[in-house]
Amino acid sequence: MLVACGGPKLASLQSSCEQRYADFPNQTRCLKREALAADPQLSRPGGDLVRLYLAYGDAAAARVEDGTMREVDARLAMAELYSRIKAQADARQADQQARYSQFL
């Protein structure tokens, strides 16, 4: 589960930002704002993955704004990164559950 700081899932926050803003750079700024509002330190489990996703979004947004990346390519790159990060978060959760079940 890729949770933004113990609150709403990252996908939910992103969907909300995509509904509010049409352009990729503003969507990524919105997502960062919302994720940091949920947990300013991104200190909950998965926070490191959320930080990575947000940093990549910042970089992609800057490239879109300076014209070195098309918006469609930035969206694709972010979707691919989200898929990899989600798989890693799911693997962490499965590992944690397996370790916990050993003690029951």
Burial level of 98, CB count in 10 A (0-12/13-18/19+)? exposed
Burial level of 61, CB count in 10 A (0-12/13-18/19+)? buried
Q: Tell me which amino acid residue 77 is.
A: A
- How high does pLDDT run on average in the chain? 87
81 band by pLDDT with thresholds 50, 70 and 90? very high
Q: What is the pLDDT of residues 23-58, one digit of tens each?
A: 999 999 999 999 999 888 787 778 889 999 999 999
Most confident of 42-56, 60-74, 84-98: 60-74
- What are the residue ranges spanned by the domains of the chain? 10-101
Distance CA 66, CA 73 (A): 14
Q: What is the model's pTM?
A: 0.83
Count Cα neighbours of 19 within 13 Å in the Cβ-side half-sphere. 6
Q: Tell me which amino acid residue 70 is.
A: R
